[in-house]
Structure formats: structure tokens, C-alpha cells
Structure 1
Amino acid sequence: MADTTIKVDPAVRDRLMELARERGMTMRDLVAQLAGATPTKEEQRRRYEETKAYVEEHFLGGPYTEEDEKAGEQLWADLEAGRIGEVQ
């Protein structure tokens, strides 16, 4: 495999080196891991469509609507605010 040089600011290089050291790996392996773990926009779109289809089939029994999306957002907001599971 041929190597390629990536030019970054010294602060970025130092940060990558520190992160790699903490994980017990080379900077080369760290950059490869980061690139492999970061989805492209197309991969995110595909993952969204697959998740939506799964939810529609297994939980909703029909199309995922704007109302479903709003209800989900409200549920997350309530969870983050600690409003779910409170004793009234």
C-alpha cells in the first residue's frame, strides 16, 4: 500500500498523535479508524431510510409521518429534561 502525506496544522498533528498514543496505536491507524467510522452523507441517508423502513414495518404498521417525528422529538426532549419516569 502506498503512503500519502496529509498536511495539517501542528496543533492538529499533535492532537492526533496524543489520541493515537492514548489508544495504543499509530497515527496512521487512528486516521484510518476515524475515516472508517465516519459515515458519508450517502451512508447516513441510506441508514436513515433503512431505519425508517424498519420502524414502519415493526412498530408503526404504516408510514412514518411528520406527527411521528414530532412525537419522537418531544420524547427525547422529555427524556433529556428528566420528565419521563417522574413520580407525579
Structure 2
Amino acid sequence: MDTTIKVAAEVRDRLAVLAQERGVSMRDLLAEFARTTPTREELRERAARAEAYIRARLAPDLSDDDLARGESVWSAIEAGATPESLVEPRQQAA
């Protein structure tokens, strides 16, 4: 069964360009997006599996503090900043 999704004209036009560039219909483009984009719950499950793998095979002593520091490094990178832990000591004082 098909349905209609109402979006702004700009969104529709962008979807059309993206679909054309990929050589697919907008229907297929949206289906691929829905199929491959994880939900928040799926992301949480993936993170839990990754943490369990790391603890079991790489770092059994991994602490919650280690995970929090790792998260802050990724957050800084995603924000386009240099993570504090990677800044040279003399650069921190400047």
C-alpha cells in the first residue's frame, strides 16, 4: 500500500536531486533511508554490543570513566575541535 508524505517544496526538490544522482526513484531513496538509518534504540544496542566486545576482548579493565573520556574525545572531534587529551602541554598553557 502506498501513502503520501507531505513535505516542503524545497525538501521534495532536494529528494528529487538526491534520487536522480543515485539513479533511483524517490520511493527507493526513502526506502533505503528508512532501511539503513538506525533508530536510537538500535544505536544504544550497537553501543552496548561494542562495549561488551571491548571489555571481553581488548580491555577487561575498561572503566566507566574511560568510556566517558572517550565520549568527550568523539564529541570534540564531531564539533571540529581538538580533544583536550590530544593538545600538547605547552599549547594548553597558551
User: Is TM-score (shorter-chain normalized) higher than 0.5?
Assistant: yes
Once the two structures are TM-superposed, the CA of residue 41 in structure 1 deviates from its matched residue by 1.2
Residue aligning to 2:37: 38
Unaligned runs of 5+ in 1: 84-88
Deviations 1:51-75 (A, max 9, x none): 110000011124x313322453576
> TM-score scaled to structure 2, two decimals?
0.71
How big is the alpha-carbon RMSD for the aligned residues of Structure 1 and Structure 2?
2.3
Name the CA shift for 1:26/1:70 in 2 (closer, same or farther; >3 Å).
Answer: same
The 5 A counterparts of 1:1-88 are 2-62=1-61, 64-73=62-71, 81=82
> TM-score scaled to structure 1, two decimals?
0.75
**Matched-pair identity in %:** 46
